[in-house]
Structure 1
């Protein structure tokens, strides 16, 4: 590999690394374990640059190396001695058809076309499509809960509410500010929080979530932001579940299902 091509590969990997972290965190349900898999991917490429297929697009090539490592690890569903929701989440995970979650996240959260999902997973396009369809069906029926929405834009809040209710979940309410979010969480504890970052009156969805968790205990959280790369640096505590604005309905459905599966998420502490 020439110095120029090595430099080009490094630049391409650096540009896509935040999104690999996002995928890995959603796949494992935790920031720490997801980031370890992302780091292992970089180490593998460093040790053997030929693993990175320059004939593919940069993001596909990077994710393909990750997927090979993930598969070789046995795609572990770890028994960490969890109790309550976390234990039930792991039980659900162990019953899912192999490869379905991976395909769903690649297609919805990372927005790879089915053809590129197939390239990453090294299966046929038809098989990749079947994985995604199966994942939607299995996760739809696996778990439901109470969801709290923190969003100051009325149209977006209504859209999110419609999506999660259509999935069979119940919305405890919508809060537009940090103070309103704290009050809403006090009135009925949610199983999951779906939160924007920047709220009305310039208050913070992150601060609201951190206060709710500090007061009421851990619960899964999904943040929605127009600048996801700012929360995917790998430098300190960051969210495990993150949706980019503008989002798609399938992204919301996938993230909500994944977050409820794991029932605990690393939240950004400011």
Structure 2
């Protein structure tokens, strides 16, 4: 596989990582685009680690760190301002290390190359991130999932993390009705639901009727929602998922939840 093909293959996952860090598709994709521009301007950025994907993330990390790792905040965006305050209290580089290890599934060796740190420090950052983020926020979570076993697993994980599950919906109609009873701070949603309806459409209707909150979509085909060509999720995990991926995604997304539930 040539370098261009390798970059194309890795780019959707760089978008996922960038969106999770910034909490939004637009700002995350802007960072991904800046990464590509940097590589086009200086091809020596590739070949530093022995892996094109690792080089891509390494270049991104350099840009992200230089920019001050700031999420995009509009003047009237109170929830994201609150998120920035909470993020500022975390130890630097902990969120990045946690996402790289758990969601993007990089080894500690690769993380050390991406972040230009020792492997032992990468391990320490991930451990510290787990502790800091576990204590940082809590809130109400709605689950939209038609497979009972998966729904039960997600519910158990969310409750174990200290959040409260408002309910589980199996269809588009159930999701809208459940959100109408109590608007959640975070939604975990499958893409394909029991009545062949779309989890994305269900979430869009909930948002249109009741307001916005962070959403983590769960899909067997994440690359289809990471093209950067249309409105797409900021938070995304793939099936089959690991419990650590869910915990990390929920912790990240909760920073962008309602200001009423941020501790």
TM-score by length of 1: 0.92
Structure 1 stretches lacking a partner, 5+ long: 1-6, 265-270
Q: Paired residue for 1:188, among 172, 175, 182?
A: 182
The correspondence for 1:68, drawn from 54, 62, 65, is 62
Q: Secondary structure at the match of 1:36?
A: helix
Which of the residues 245, 256, 259 maps onto 1:262?
256
Partner Cα separation in structure 2 for residue 235 and residue 18 of structure 1: 11
Q: CA deviation at 1:71?
A: 1.2
Displacement, 1:78?
5.1
Size of the alignment, in residue pairs?
Answer: 258
Contiguous gaps of at least 5 residues in structure 2: 259-263
Q: Is residue 108–residue 251 contact of structure 1 (8 Å, CA) maintained in 2?
A: yes
* In the alignment, structure 1 residue 199 sits paired with structure 2 residue 193: yes
1:241 aligns with 2:235: yes
8 Å Cα contact 1:232-1:238 kept in structure 2: yes
SS at match of 1:202: coil
Post-superposition CA distance 1:18-72 (Å, at most 9, x none): 0000000001111111101100110111011001125422211111111111111
- Contact persistence 1:77–1:93 (CA under 8 A): no
Distance 2:124 2:141 in 1: 29
Aligned to 2:15: 21
Does 2:163 align with 1:169? yes
Partner Cα separation in structure 1 for residue 34 and residue 17 of structure 2: 14
SS at match of 1:163: helix
User: Cα offset for 1:84?
Assistant: 4.4
Q: Distance in 1 between matches of 2:82 and 2:65?
A: 23
The one of 200, 218, 224 aligned to 2:218: 224
Matching residue of 2:136: 142
Normalised to the residue count of structure 2, the TM-score between the two structures is: 0.95
Query: What is residue 112 of structure 1 aligned with on the other side?
Result: 106
* In structure 2, C-alpha distance between the alignment counterparts of 1:207 and 1:136, rounded to whole Å: 32
Distance 1:12 1:177 in 2: 38
Query: Deviation per CA, 1:130-168, whole angstroms, max 9, x where unpaired?
Result: 111111111111110000000000000000000010000
In structure 1, the partner of 2:261 is none
Q: How do 1:39-54 residues align onto structure 2 when only pairs under 5 Å count? A: 39-53=33-47
Between the aligned partners of 1:261 and 1:122, the Cα distance in structure 2 is: 26
**Deviation larger for 220-229 or 61-70:** 61-70
